């Protein structure tokens, strides 16, 4: 690699950077006169000025220099802008390198295209102000700050040829997720993974306050980065002529270090944690923009964050300053008479797929290889009789995942992400062939730990989820297994990823990427040993609110349903799949053929638990979720014994989205099917895993939706017995029976008589007595009553 950049190269780089800055300012301000070939007038200015200037010149400076590095070295680089609000800078760069016009031919190279580029930015019908989904080369919007490094590491895992440059805002660096994400280097294997080059952009400010790291001494910043395992390289200043050569030299040094680390590790074939380089870039916020406006300093202050000149249309002085500012980039030297970037500068961009906007890793679906999945039926548990034998359902999934690892070892495109709970979540069979990943020393006392593992255990839901997101965005597959309550830690990331997918599927050029699969286990109902803090099913509500085009929620009631659901999710693309099932031993209901059929339908009547032959049930007992299924089936069992005259139908819902009407969700069942399951007007007692409002929301618009009486998690929890949990929340079999008895009686205008009647009040009293017995028993014996703990399904 040639060292020391020449003066001629510096001049060209500077011109390229000026072109990017010119296009950035143009996008924020202009709706006409893109090349300033006539004097700037108020009508050339957009009526609403929306965008962020402050971070943009820094982002473009880095982009231009990476172009240079790529051309010099043929490096395979993608660019993640943490401060994604600098969208106009990245748009300017992908436009200059030509990728933008290839994808969006309307925004062509030349004056008319440039005008479109400007007019579309942050305007109705145009493109958002962030480095968003429509931006070529982006796998990271940077809207919600904090995730740039987790995405970068996820992209680098199992991509040995890739360098992921992650620009970290100094404000962003104050977020919890970013602070935790430096730890990625403890999991980055120089033999089999790519490299992450963090560039901490210390422009000193966030929106209006100084940043913590911006006001810290270089020694402190150095200590932080060294402590996290990096070798920091500082580049500070504001004179472009000096900064270009310094930054080019630093990039070259960092590139050489990365190469040396990887070459050495790969030659030896042994991996250990490397001290990876990181850059600290200290430049003024709003660099090269207006020095001061209305007597107040702007460049190098927080005032540069968004739109430094805010009254350009009405204030002639602001208009003059804008024209002066844009002309300071000397557009006449940068663009030819047609408004195209002059050839000598266009030649600075890398070619083809090496352009960062065109890099296939940033359109991961282009590189996606489907997983080689084992036949999931091979892991089936035998179910001779429903509800007769308890099994740990997730353990079966662990066996299947073990073989997913085995079958995809060559493609190296599957990882399991889990906050240190793989064993706890009963997925430990994966360790028969896979190990946990760590680049730190491995002690003889450690369990299945090695630098080559693809089970990623870091006690950070943000890292787990963000790594998986980065991994799938670059076309690979995985599963994030979390305690149910703590998936809420990264719920906001789930939301942001869903938004990304919602927008991504609208763009034909973005190829489908593997789904984000989240397994929620150690659930609210069976965290009886950890207590209230661990009892929270809130992520269901979060995913329920996302668009039907991308959101999926599955509540398999047993192992065979879980296997079928997991197989489906691992094959799917472009979804957020939430799978909710507990890890504790639980009764199994369906043999594999029945489970397959049930999961294919998403919801069905469990005839074996019902005592009506698709006639006219007196009550429908429905459930979604494993523990609710146990309680509803036990309620049906009790009613069939004590009120055999009562016609009970049991419905199980595994795909929650089937409850929605088809206009809300593509899985929503048509009205005919809905009525076949739930009748048109019979009362439905619905036991639900999560907060009951979710079911009311889902069945809104269905015939007589008010007949759904939902019991769910009611924010009652503590360290107690499993049955006490359901009692406390009013979802126990006895509560469900009481509800069913009350509703079935109330629904009839005329009381049933003779052979069709049953003693409602007396039966309700029996249930109440059972609940009273429970209260006494559990306080005396500290365990559940045998009638509950040892309960099994038996035919009536
Ligand atoms: C999680 C989150 N909180 C708050 C914001 C609002 N916000 C947008 S930009 C910004 C300042 C960012 O500062 P910095 O990371 O230093 O970026 P730069 O200075 O490069 O603009 C803030 C607080 C956000 N986008 N995301
Ligand atoms: Mg900043």
Atom of ligand 1 nearest to the CA of 169: 15
From 55, 84, 22, select the one nearest 304 (Cα to Cα): 55
Whole-number Å distance, alpha carbon 54 to ligand 1 midpoint, is 11
Q: Give the contacts of 615 (CB within 8 A, at least 6 positions apart).
A: 647
Whole-number Å distance, alpha carbon 51 to ligand 2 midpoint, is 15
pLDDT over 90 at 286, yes or no: yes
Enter the DSSP assignment of 236: E
The pLDDT of residue 1: 44
The pLDDT of residue 467: 98
pLDDT over 90 at 520, yes or no: yes
3-class secondary structure per residue, 288-345: CCCCEECCEECCCCHHHCCCCCCCCCCCHHHHHHHHHHHHCCCHHHHECCCCCECHHH
Q: What are phi and psi of 769, to 5 degrees?
A: -65, -40
Whole-number Å distance, alpha carbon 295 to ligand 2 midpoint, is 23
Whole-number Å distance, alpha carbon 206 to ligand 1 midpoint, is 6
Q: What predicted TM-score, i.e. pTM, was given to this entire model? A: 0.97
pLDDT over 80 at 751, yes or no: no
Whole-number Å distance, alpha carbon 61 to ligand 1 midpoint, is 19
Alpha helices in 491-573, H assignment, sequence order: 491-504, 539-544, 559-571
Nearest CA to ligand 1 atom 17: 169
How far is 88 from 21, CA to CA, in rounded Å?
A: 9
Atom of ligand 1 nearest to the CA of 168: 15
In the predicted model, what is the mean pLDDT of the chain? 96
Identify whether the C-beta of residue 117 lies closer than 8 Å to the C-beta of residue 123.
no
The pLDDT of residue 749: 63
Atom of ligand 1 nearest to the CA of 203: 19
Atom of ligand 1 nearest to the CA of 143: 25
Complete edge-to-edge strand list for the sheet that includes strand 576-580: 449-450, 436-437, 455-457, 414-418, 477-483, 516-521, 576-580, 551-554
- Give the angle subtended at the CA of 100 by the CAs of 286 and 548, to the nearest 5°: 95
Nearest CA to ligand 1 atom 25: 144
For 551-577, the pLDDT digits (tens) are 999 999 999 999 999 999 999 999 999
For 634-645, the pLDDT digits (tens) are 999 999 999 999
Could you say which ligand is closest to the alpha carbon of residue 58? 1
Nearest CA to ligand 1 atom 18: 55
Identify whether the C-beta of residue 3 lies closer than 8 Å to the C-beta of residue 256.
no
614 confidence band (pLDDT: 50, 70, 90) = low
For 266-276, the pLDDT digits (tens) are 999 988 999 99
What b/e readout covers 109-118, taking b as 16+ CB neighbours within 10 angstroms?
Answer: bbbebbbbbb
Cα separations in angstroms, 319 against 298, 325, 740: 16, 10, 73
pLDDT over 60 at 306, yes or no: yes
The pLDDT of residue 746: 79
From 697, 727, 725, select the one nearest 710 (Cα to Cα): 697
DSSP 3-state of 611: coil
Atom of ligand 1 nearest to the CA of 172: 15
- Give the angle subtended at the CA of 470 by the CAs of 129 and 176, to the nearest 5°: 75
The pLDDT of residue 693: 96
Identify whether the C-beta of residue 287 lies closer than 8 Å to the C-beta of residue 89.
no
752 confidence band (pLDDT: 50, 70, 90) = confident
Nearest CA to ligand 1 atom 20: 55
Nearest CA to ligand 1 atom 7: 207
Mean pLDDT on 151-176? 98
The pLDDT of residue 424: 87
How far is 86 from 88, CA to CA, in rounded Å?
A: 6
Identify whether the C-beta of residue 469 lies closer than 8 Å to the C-beta of residue 493.
yes
Ligand 1 residue neighbourhood (C-beta within 6 Å): 54-55, 83, 85, 143-146, 169-172, 175, 201, 203, 205-207, 211, 285, 305
The pLDDT of residue 688: 98
pLDDT over 80 at 750, yes or no: no
For 453-469, the pLDDT digits (tens) are 999 999 999 999 999 99
Q: Which two tokens stand for residue 536?
A: 């929270």
- Ligand 1: residue of 169, 201, 285, 300 to mutate (most ligand atoms within 8 A of CB) is 169
Could you say which ligand is closest to the alpha carbon of residue 145? 1
Atom of ligand 1 nearest to the CA of 201: 20
pLDDT more than 90, % of the chain: 95
The pLDDT of residue 615: 74
Q: Give the contacts of 93 (CB within 8 A, at least 6 positions apart).
A: 20, 60, 63, 64, 356, 357
How far is 686 from 628, CA to CA, in rounded Å?
A: 9
Whole-number Å distance, alpha carbon 451 to ligand 2 midpoint, is 35
Alpha helices in 602-746, H assignment, sequence order: 626-642, 671-678, 693-698, 722-728, 733-746
Mean pLDDT on 240-261? 97
Whole-number Å distance, alpha carbon 282 to ligand 2 midpoint, is 10
DSSP 3-state of 112: helix
Mean pLDDT on 146-159? 98
Atom of ligand 1 nearest to the CA of 170: 16
Whole-number Å distance, alpha carbon 286 to ligand 2 midpoint, is 10
- Ligand 1: residue of 24, 172, 201 to mutate (most ligand atoms within 8 A of CB) is 172
The pLDDT of residue 2: 45
Whole-number Å distance, alpha carbon 145 to ligand 1 midpoint, is 6
Whole-number Å distance, alpha carbon 45 to ligand 1 midpoint, is 26
Atom of ligand 1 nearest to the CA of 142: 25
Torsion of CA 349, 350, 353, 354, to 10 degrees: -130
DSSP 3-state of 512: coil
How far is 25 from 473, CA to CA, in rounded Å?
A: 30
């Amino acid at each position: 690699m040639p060292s020391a950049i020449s003066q001629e190269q510096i001049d060209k780089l500077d011109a390229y950077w000026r072109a990017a800055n010119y296009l950035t300012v143009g996008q924020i301000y202009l709706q006409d006169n893109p090349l300033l070939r006539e004097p700037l007038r108020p009508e050339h200015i957009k009526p609403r000025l929306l965008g962020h200037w402050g971070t943009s010149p820094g982002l473009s400076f880095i982009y231009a220099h990476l172009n240079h590095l790529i051309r010099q070295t043929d490096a395979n680089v993608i660019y993640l802008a943490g401060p994604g609000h600098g969208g106009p800078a990245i748009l300017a760069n992908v436009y200059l390198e030509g990728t933008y016009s290839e994808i969006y031919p309307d925004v062509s190279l030349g004056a008319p295209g440039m005008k479109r580029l400007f007019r579309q930015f942050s305007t109705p019908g145009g493109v958002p102000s962030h480095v968003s989904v429509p931006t070529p080369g982006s796998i990271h919007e940077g809207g919600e700050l904090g995730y740039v490094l987790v995405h970068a590491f996820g992209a680098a895992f199992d991509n040995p040829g890739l360098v992921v440059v992650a620009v970290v805002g100094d404000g962003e660096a104050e977020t919890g997720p970013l602070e935790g994400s430096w730890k990625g280097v403890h999991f980055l294997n120089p033999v089999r993974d790519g490299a992450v080059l963090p560039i901490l952009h210390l422009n000193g400010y966030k929106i209006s306050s100084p940043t913590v790291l911006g006001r810290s001494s270089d020694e402190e910043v150095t200590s932080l980065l060294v402590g996290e395992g990096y070798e920091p390289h500082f580049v500070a200043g504001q004179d472009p002529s000096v900064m270009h050569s310094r930054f080019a030299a630093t990039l070259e040094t960092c590139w050489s270090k990365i190469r040396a680390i990887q070459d050495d590790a790969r030659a030896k074939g042994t991996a250990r944690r490397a001290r990876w380089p990181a850059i600290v870039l200290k430049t003024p916020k709003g660099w090269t923009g207006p020095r001061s406006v209305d007597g107040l300093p702007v460049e190098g202050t927080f005032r540069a964050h968004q739109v430094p000149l805010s009254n350009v249309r009405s204030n002639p002085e602001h208009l003059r300053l804008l024209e002066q500012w844009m002309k300071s980039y000397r557009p006449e030297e940068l663009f030819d008479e047609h408004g195209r970037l002059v050839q000598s500068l266009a030649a600075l961009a890398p070619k083809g797929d090496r352009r960062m906007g065109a890099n296939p890793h940033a359109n991961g679906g282009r590189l996606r290889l489907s997983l080689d999945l084992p036949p999931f039926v091979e892991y089936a548990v035998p179910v001779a009789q429903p509800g007769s034998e308890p099994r740990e359902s997730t353990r079966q999934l662990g066996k299947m995942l073990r073989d997913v690892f085995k079958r995809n070892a060559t493609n190296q495109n599957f990882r399991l992400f889990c906050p240190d709970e793989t064993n706890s979540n009963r997925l430990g069979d994966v360790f028969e062939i896979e190990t946990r990943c760590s680049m730190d020393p491995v002690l003889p006392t450690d369990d299945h730990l090695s630098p080559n593992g693809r089970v990623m255990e870091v006690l950070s839901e943000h890292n787990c989820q963000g790594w998986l997101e980065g991994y799938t965005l670059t076309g690979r597959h995985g599963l994030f297994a979390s305690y149910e309550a703590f998936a809420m830690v990264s719920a906001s990331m789930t939301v942001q990823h869903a938004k990304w997918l919602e927008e991504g599927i609208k763009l034909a050029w973005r190829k489908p990427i593997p789904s984000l699969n989240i397994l929620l286990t150690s659930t609210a109902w069976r965290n009886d040993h950890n207590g209230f803090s661990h009892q929270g099913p809130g992520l269901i509500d979060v995913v329920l609110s996302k668009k039907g085009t991308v959101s999926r929620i599955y509540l398999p009631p047993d192992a065979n349903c879980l296997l079928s659901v997991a197989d489906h999710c691992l094959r799917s693309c472009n979804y957020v799949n939430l799978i909710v099932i507990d890890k504790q031993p639980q009764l199994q209901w369906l043999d594999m053929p029945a489970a397959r059929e049930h999961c294919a339908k998403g919801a069905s009547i469990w005839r074996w638990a019902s005592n009506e032959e698709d006639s006219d049930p007196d009550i429908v007992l429905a459930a979604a979720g494993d523990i609710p299924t146990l309680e509803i089936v036990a309620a049906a069992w009790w009613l069939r014994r004590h009120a055999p005259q009562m016609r009970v139908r049991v419905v199980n819902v595994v795909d929650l989205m089937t409850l929605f009407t088809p206009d809300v969700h593509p899985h929503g069942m048509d009205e005919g099917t809905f009525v076949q399951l739930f009748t048109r007007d019979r009362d439905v007692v619905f036991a639900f895993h999560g907060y009951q409002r979710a079911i009311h929301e889902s069945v809104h618009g269905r015939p007589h939706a008010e007949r759904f009486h939902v019991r769910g998690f009611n924010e009652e929890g503590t360290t107690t017995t499993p049955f006490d949990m359901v009692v406390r929340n009013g979802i126990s079999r006895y509560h469900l029976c009481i509800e069913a008895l009350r509703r079935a009686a109330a629904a009839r205008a005329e009381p049933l008589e003779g052979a069709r009647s049953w003693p409602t009040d007396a039966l309700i009293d029996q249930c109440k007595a059972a609940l009273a017995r429970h209260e006494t028993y559990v306080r005396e014996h500290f365990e559940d009553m045998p009638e509950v703990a040892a309960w099994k399904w038996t035919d009536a």
